[in-house]
Chains A and B, each alone.
Chain A
Amino acid sequence: MEFFAGSKVYTFLPLASLEVGEHFYWNIGGLTVHGQVFMTSWFVIALLVIASLAATRNIQRVPSGIQNFMEFALEFVRELAKNQIGEKEYRPWVPFIGTLFLFIFVSNWSGALLPWKLIQIPSGELAAPTNDINTTVALALLTSLAYFFAGFRKRGLGYFAKYLEPTPILLPINILEDFTKPLSLSFRLFGNIVADELVVAVLVLLVPLFIPLPVMALGLFTSAIQALVFATLAAAYIHEALEGHGGEEHE
């Protein structure tokens, strides 16, 4: 039982290989990057862009087909942003929150639904972009930047006053929060997606037929929930930065 030792286990089925922590390295101008992450992320981005273009190619007042579907998606992320940030300030944040949700959601579901592993690459394997810690940390750090930006734009240097609320005693904890927020955001998403993929892979390894199906369905559910949680928390942090601890809390 050496699942993880060589990070590579092959069984009699070509589907049931398990690789963890192996990457398809690209060298671009002296920078090392994980090629497999970019390949799948480009696929996800292409999917989103194509869907957007198809939806807005021939805009009708009475929507139908892809336009209707994308309007549903837009209304969903708008509602999400509005519920968290509030009626007054949510509009400029819809693109960021919405793209977070759509990118993570499509990534997760592409990882859960598409048989990426059938496409052979020289090393490592194709998986959801969110299956790589670099992606989730990048998204989490962008979220941190976003809420700092929101706070500073709204209240200038007065934003720092929020660290002394409700009482100066909490100053260290308030500062610590700025580190725990991106940490928890990124590790929650990364952990859930990797764990789901590993559970499915291990189950497929043990029982290749039918048994993993319920776990896969559960994986779809978890993936969707994780996208929702990430976007909701990002919106909640931005709202917190806009309102401050002292302001009225809408939670």
Chain B
Amino acid sequence: MIHWTNLFIAEAGMFDFDATLPLMAIQFLALVFLLNKIFYKPLGKVLDERTEYVRQNGQDAKGRLEKATAIAAQYEQELVEVRRESQSIIAKAREEAQQVVTAVVQEAQQEIQQQREATSQEIETQKNQAFHTLEGDVDALSWQILEKLLGSELAR
């Protein structure tokens, strides 16, 4: 029926070994060397170079990031310092203004006080003067009343 042995005999079967084997081996080795020249070496070099490039770029970027962070921190600190300074300047200005206000108010009060004193003194002198004048008038009037009552000779 089916001659399975046909598959295995050396003349014409699946397991027919001949010069194909060594020639194929040589051909394959040649392919290895050829591909090594035109494929593995150039493309491998490119891959390695790219890895190196990416690594270096990553390192550069990291360095730059570090620098940027440091600068940002420095700015932050400077900002804090400047803010504190500005705060102190504002406080000082406010204090000075307060002082000026206080001084002006005091001066004004003093002036008011002085004016008040001066005015009251003037009032006093005018009152005294008025009294003096009135006293003179009283004397004269009393004399006149006396003269009128007693007559001029008696009165003198």
Contact = CB atoms under 8 A, between A and B. Distances in A.
Interface of A: 1-5, 7, 20-23, 28, 31-34, 37-38, 41, 45, 48-49, 52-53, 55-56, 59, 61, 63, 67, 70-71, 74-75, 78, 94-96, 98-99, 102-103, 129, 132-135, 137-139, 141-142, 194
Contact of A135 (B19, B24, B47): B24
Contacts, number: 135
Nearest to B25: A138
Interface stretch (B31-39, B75-83, B99-107, B132-140): B31-39
A4 B50 contact: no
Nearest to A61: B50
Given A61-B46, A137-B21, A103 B28 contact: yes
A56 B44 CA distance: 11
A4 B28 contact: no
Contacts of A133: 14-17
Contact of A7 (B6, B27, B33): B6
Interface in B120-136: none
10 contacts: A4-B7, A20-B7, A23-B12, A33-B19, A48-B35, A48-B39, A53-B38, A74-B47, A103-B31, A134-B18
Contact of B36 (A61, A95, A132): A95
The winner among B20, B23, B42 for most chain A CB atoms within 10 A is B20
Contacts of A94: 40, 44
Nearest to A70: B43
Contacts of A34: 16, 18, 20
B80 to A, nearest CB: 45
A95 B46 contact: no
A132 B28 CA distance: 14
**Interface of A, helix, strand, loop or mixed by DSSP:** helix
A23 B20 CA distance: 11
A135 B6 contact: no
Given A20-B14, A142-B25, 18 more contacts: A2-B1, A5-B2, A21-B6, A21-B7, A21-B13, A34-B20, A38-B24, A52-B38, A52-B39, A56-B38, A70-B39, A95-B35, A98-B40, A134-B16, A138-B28, A139-B25, A141-B25, A142-B29
A96 B43 contact: no
A129 B23 CA distance: 13
Contacts of B24: 37-38, 41, 129, 134-135, 138-139
B40 A95 contact: yes
A129 B50 CA distance: 36
B53 interface: yes
A138 B22 contact: yes
A53 B42 CA distance: 10
B3 interface: yes
Given A48-B35, A95-B32, A194 B6 contact: no
A74 B20 contact: no
A32 B42 contact: no
Contacts of B46: 59, 61, 63, 71
A67 B18 CA distance: 38
A48 B33 CA distance: 13
Interface in B40-56: 40, 42-44, 46-47, 49-50, 53
A55 B38 CA distance: 9
A192 to B, nearest CB: 14
